[in-house]
Amino acid sequence: MSATAVDMINPLIAALEELPGGLASTIPRLSPNVTEMELVGKSTTIKMFDGVPALLVDQFDPFPDSLPLLFRGQILTAGQPANPPVMTDLRVRVAFAGAENPALNGEVVVTQPVQADGSFAVAATLLFRAGVARPYRLTSTVTIEEATLAVDNRRVIIDNANLGWFLDLIDDAERLTVVSSKLEFVARVRKTFLTSGDFDAVLTRFASTKALLAMDSVMGKRLRTGHHVRSGGEAITISHVLIGIEGGRLQDPRPRIPVARPDTLVTWAGDLGGALVRHLVATYYRSDPAALTFDQFIAATASRADLIGDIDGVNLSFAYDPAVSLGDNLRAYYSGPGQRRFSTFLEVTETNADTRALTRAPGPGAPHLTAASKQFIGEQILAAAVLPLARRTALSPDTPREKRLSMPPEVMAALAVNSPEIQKLSGIFVTLIEQGLASEPP
């Protein structure tokens, strides 16, 4: 059957599918089912599902000048054809049309033969035009050539999880969501990522508010998969940005537990202090031989992407405009103050007495924080660790009874601002800030 005839019969099949009884289901046909996509040269393979865009997380911002891809899949046969096709007679064609992908340097069309078992692998290198803004989405059509049966073409969509991707998704969601305030929408998005009820004790304004998307929903899983959003060359844990906005004093978080600084507890101090809590509990209370090391706990709870998100969240908590959408707030920040996030962080971070907490040490050379600034950072990390530690030890049924009423001496020693553990955690954050200041434009 010629390609023209195949093209003519496909609309007929689609129409038959709409009729009662699914009459088209008895018509034999083929479809090229793409099951995975490999980013050539990066050792990254992404599972593909029909109708669901592939999501590239923590990979590019923006797409590189040259993007080599490899699509793998299987030819599927529907119905019972009288004369099954010989798979080696078929070819799979992947086409990225120029009209749908204007940032590409022309149309990209690649065909490859099908193997005897129906499997295929098609490599395509996408080249982007210089001087043209690169989108976060690329689209292509996958079809079968030399087919003697009708063919169901497949669409392959590739999304790059950068800030633009997140903003478009959130803009659409906010237009369709009924909330009492713009800040409630922030809370609902945040709860899609951070599902623990522990935050409700610190951020009580929207404690009863449900997550925007259910955990087991397709979009909920997709949003959580894209939790690392790339912007300006940085990976940013976007949930940390959102909770930072909510936890800021200008948003009146209203904690129902004795917390002096909800803003630092739900951001950088809580992340770093949380690593200490997990380390102390695993080492001195549970004696788990399979427990992570201290460094591994730090990497798990206070990665660079997490801490960058924390800093952005604190900054945004002061810049947040409750009259405009979440997307517009993020656009304003990342196109403005966010380009000098570390300097902004120094300007807005306050002590418990509402005075400036972080300052540069005077003198020439690379920027350094003052001793008082480093002391403040250590104190906040310590404060953020104490209450969660009590909850997971003295108040936990998992703690051996003999350890609930007495604190091991090693734990007591670690809970001091000048302890090696707190100094290690403080040093991580201080180094991040100082190096960030040095990298910022004047």
Tens digit of each residue's pLDDT (9 = 90 or more) over 172-216 = 999 999 999 999 999 999 999 998 889 999 999 999 999 999 988
**Spatial contact of 72 and 121, defined as CB atoms under 8 Å apart:** yes
Strand, helix or coil at 55?
A: strand
In the chain, where are the structural domains located? Answer: 3-160, 163-439
- Select from 79, 93, 82 the least CA-distant residue to 143: 93
* Residue 297, both tokens: 């706990």
Report how far residue 152's alpha carbon sits from residue 351's, in angstroms, rounded to the nearest whole number: 63
- Select from 106, 98, 47 the least CA-distant residue to 71: 47
Is residue 351 classed exposed, middle or buried when 0-12, 13-18 and 19+ CB atoms within 10 A define those classes? middle
Strand, helix or coil at 286?
A: coil
Label the pairing between strands 66-78 and 119-127: antiparallel
Q: Phi and psi (nearest 5°) for 262?
A: -60, -30
Low pLDDT (below 70) residues in the chain? 1-26
Q: Residue 391's pLDDT is what?
A: 86
Residue-by-residue DSSP string for 287-354: --TTPPPHHHHHHHHS-HHHHHHHHHHHHHHHH--TTS-HHHHHHHHHTTGGGGHHHHHHHH-B-TTS
Q: Residue 238's pLDDT is what?
A: 98
Q: Residue 439's pLDDT is what?
A: 96
Q: Residue 11's pLDDT is what?
A: 54
Q: Distance from first CA to last CA of the chain, Å, rounded?
A: 66
The residues pairing with 109 across neighbouring beta strands, listed in sequence order, are 95
Tens digit of each residue's pLDDT (9 = 90 or more) over 65-116 = 999 999 999 999 998 888 899 999 999 999 999 999 999 999 999 999 999 9
The residues pairing with 31 across neighbouring beta strands, listed in sequence order, are 76
- Which DSSP state fits 217? S
Distance from CA of residue 339 to its chain's centroid? 20
List the Cα angle 148/151/157 in 5-degree steps.
145
CATH of domain 3-160: 2.60.40.10
Q: What is the pTM of this model?
A: 0.88
Is residue 366 classed exposed, middle or buried when 0-12, 13-18 and 19+ CB atoms within 10 A define those classes? exposed
- Select from 297, 165, 287, 179 the least CA-distant residue to 238: 165
* Residue 19, both tokens: 């009729």
